[in-house]
């Protein structure tokens, strides 16, 4: 029976440690290449394969777990380093504390990956094909835990690197986490093929990896060739998507940012001629009762008059001290007696709600409107000209399982989605391109267009195939004139199951594979140094 090759490498090679760190940084870069913003699926596969090779050579489960923690911490720091900008530059938190906060968050989330890799290394099956499946299942569980526990922070899940890759066609079936499972399996298969004791299994490992890639390519090709029935494709709707470029450090100041926002957005709302006008998250930075007398009525009058041809979605905070506040969207359409209202459900910790026992931390930062009430999941769409328009605010489009609640009733499912964001908190950083990739993947999962109106970028239109058809330059004040064609009819398999069951089917898949192959591996392991 084969002996674990790492048992002969009990001390571990020194070069494995820098390899692990470099692989983590490379995986971060694969999500949105800083010099162009595009995701690089091949770099993600290569980075994760290098990491698996390193842990396979590690002498002990404990050493492998520590390597995983370093890899994940480097990857996650490299992914959301821009949180430093929001905390230090705009939040006023001292630089050392802001750095420590980013490192601490990455290190905490990296613990999920350390735990599953420790388990993988401890229960490593002799059969390398089984080992690749076990690694993919455990990686899936770590990604799900990061995405859902403690309110969830799944930013940077590896599936987002594949929005343009050969696995993109899997999105309509298994979503971003299922794509991550496939990517982890392929990466592990590549690493296993290099192992010294896998010579008799390389053929089957290679075949399995190739079949998964070909399956993804075939699915992607099917999606590209799939023609939307004419009765399910709407006529083009004209859009005016506003990008105010209001400086984040002035946005909520009464002497500068507030009058700037009210003046610029007010003027553009009065001038717009498109059928649907969208202004981003908190474009109007004051509560309605705080606005100058008659302001809201003046800028929305043209959208509510009977017989009109225009509708408006605009970000605005709502509520009062007694009942609490919400980060919301107001919608106006001809003949409406009162505005349509959407309240953000998935709030940002520390930025939009204060976790228990952490008020001391938020009080160290200057973040206005930082404690909101939650809206409920599955809120009604905004109906306009035969379209069912589903708003979401900022990083809510990161949670496809929550957006899926709107697709349970296919007859009332959205024909397109609208994301209203303010990424100004993170400066002119890679966060803009990362967020665009996230929206593109939601469009692939649900095969519905995603329209984006943001403060600083990326203001864009994404069609139902995940392709960007219109985009305004980042960090530029302006209005994007564009068109969108809504899609109705049957929902994707992903939309069907995630709307009904959430992510539980993927949890079940990961747990079943991890338990079955883990037990099998434990029964057959010999010669492993613990």
Q: Is 163 helix (H, G, I), strand (E, B) or coil?
A: coil
β partners of residue 388: 383
For the chain, the maximum distance between any two Cα atoms, rounded to a whole number of angstroms, is 82
In the residue annotation, 394 being an active-site residue is answered as yes
C-alpha 99/C-alpha 88 separation (Å) is 9
Q: Give the tokens for residue 151.
A: 């309110």
Among candidate residues 344, 352, 445, 447, the one labeled active-site is 344
Closest CA to 193 of 19, 59, 15, 52: 52
Among candidate residues 143, 281, 352, 387, the one labeled active-site is 281
Query: What distances in angstroms separate CA 364 from CA 372, 397, 416, 525, one per listed residue?
Result: 18, 28, 40, 51
Q: Measured in whole angstroms, how far is the alpha carbon of residue 223 from the centre of its chain?
A: 21
Closest CA to 316 of 335, 336, 289, 338: 289
Query: What is the number of alpha carbons within 13 Å of residue 13 lying toward its C-beta?
Result: 13
Among candidate residues 251, 394, 401, 445, the one labeled active-site is 394
In the residue annotation, 281 being an active-site residue is answered as yes
β partners of residue 389: 382, 416
In the residue annotation, 402 being an active-site residue is answered as no
Closest CA to 9 of 48, 44, 47, 60: 60
Q: What is the DSSP letter of 150?
A: G
Closest CA to 117 of 77, 185, 69: 69
Q: Which helix (H) or strand (E) holds 460?
A: strand 460-462
Contact 234, 488 (CB under 8 A): yes
DSSP string, 91-134: T---HHHHHHHHHHHHHHHHHHHHHHHHHHHHT--SSHHHHHHH
Query: What distances in angstroms separate CA 53 from CA 3, 191, 194, 277, 511, one per listed residue?
Result: 17, 5, 8, 51, 23
Contact 477, 268 (CB under 8 A): no
Question: CB burial class (10 A; 0-12, 13-18, 19+) of residue 77?
Answer: buried
Question: CB burial class (10 A; 0-12, 13-18, 19+) of residue 62?
Answer: middle
Contact 422, 455 (CB under 8 A): yes
Residues labelled as active-site residues: 281, 344, 394
């Amino acid at each position: 029976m084969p002996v674990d090759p790492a048992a002969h490498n009990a001390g571990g090679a020194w070069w494995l440690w820098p390899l692990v760190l470099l692989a983590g940084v490379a995986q971060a870069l694969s999500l949105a290449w800083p010099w162009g913003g595009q995701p690089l699926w091949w770099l993600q596969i290569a980075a994760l394969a290098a990491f698996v090779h390193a842990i396979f050579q590690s002498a002990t489960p404990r050493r492998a777990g520590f390597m995983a923690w370093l890899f994940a911490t480097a990857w996650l720091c490299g992914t959301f380093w821009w949180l430093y900008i929001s905390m230090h530059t705009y939040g006023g938190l001292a630089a050392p504390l802001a750095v420590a906060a980013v490192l601490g968050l990455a290190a905490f989330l990296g613990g999920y990956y350390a735990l599953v890799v420790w388990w993988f290394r401890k229960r490593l099956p002799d059969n390398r094909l089984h080992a690749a499946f076990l690694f993919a299942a455990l990686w899936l569980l770590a990604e799900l835990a990061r995405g859902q526990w403690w309110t969830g922070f799944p930013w940077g899940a590896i599936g987002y690197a594949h929005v343009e890759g050969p696995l993109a066609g899997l999105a309509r079936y298994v979503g971003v986490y299922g794509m991550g499972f496939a990517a982890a399996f392929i990466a592990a298969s590549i690493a296993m093929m290099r192992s010294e004791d896998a010579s008799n299994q390389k053929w089957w490992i290679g075949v399995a990896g190739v079949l998964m890639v070909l399956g993804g390519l075939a699915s992607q090709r099917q999606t590209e060739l799939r023609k939307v029935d004419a009765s399910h494709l709407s006529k083009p709707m004209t859009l005016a998507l506003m990008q105010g470029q209001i400086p984040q450090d002035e946005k909520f100041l009464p002497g500068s940012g507030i009058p700037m926002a009210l003046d610029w957005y007010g003027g553009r709302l009065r001038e717009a001629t498109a059928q649907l006008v969208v202004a981003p998250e908190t474009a109007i930075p004051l509560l309605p009762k705080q606005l100058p007398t008659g302001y809201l009525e003046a800028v929305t009058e043209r959208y509510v008059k009977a017989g009109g041809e225009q509708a408006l979605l605009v970000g605005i905070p709502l509520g009062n001290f007694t009942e609490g506040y919400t980060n919301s969207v107001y919608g106006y359409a001809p003949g409406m007696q009162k505005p349509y209202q959407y309240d953000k459900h998935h709030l940002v910790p520390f930025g939009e709600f204060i976790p228990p026992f952490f008020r001391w931390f938020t009080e160290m930062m200057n973040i206005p409107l930082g404690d909101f009430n939650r809206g409920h999941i599955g809120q009604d769409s905004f109906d306009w000209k035969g379209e069912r328009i589903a708003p979401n605010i900022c990083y809510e489009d990161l949670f496809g399982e929550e957006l899926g609640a709107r697709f349970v009733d296919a007859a009332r499912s959205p024909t397109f989605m609208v994301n209203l964001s303010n990424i100004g908190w993170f400066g002119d950083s890679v966060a803009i391109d990362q967020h665009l990739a996230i929206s593109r993947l939601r469009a692939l999962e649900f095969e519905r267009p995603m329209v984006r109106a943001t403060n600083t970028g990326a203001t864009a239109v994404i069609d139902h195939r995940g392709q960007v058809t219109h985009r305004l330059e980042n960090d530029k004040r302006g209005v994007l004139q564009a068109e969108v064609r809504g899609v109705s009819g049957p929902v994707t398999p992903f939309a069907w199951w995630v709307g009904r069951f959430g992510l539980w089917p993927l949890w079940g898949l990961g747990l079943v594979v991890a338990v079955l192959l883990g037990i099998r591996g434990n029964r057959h392991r010999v010669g492993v140094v613990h």
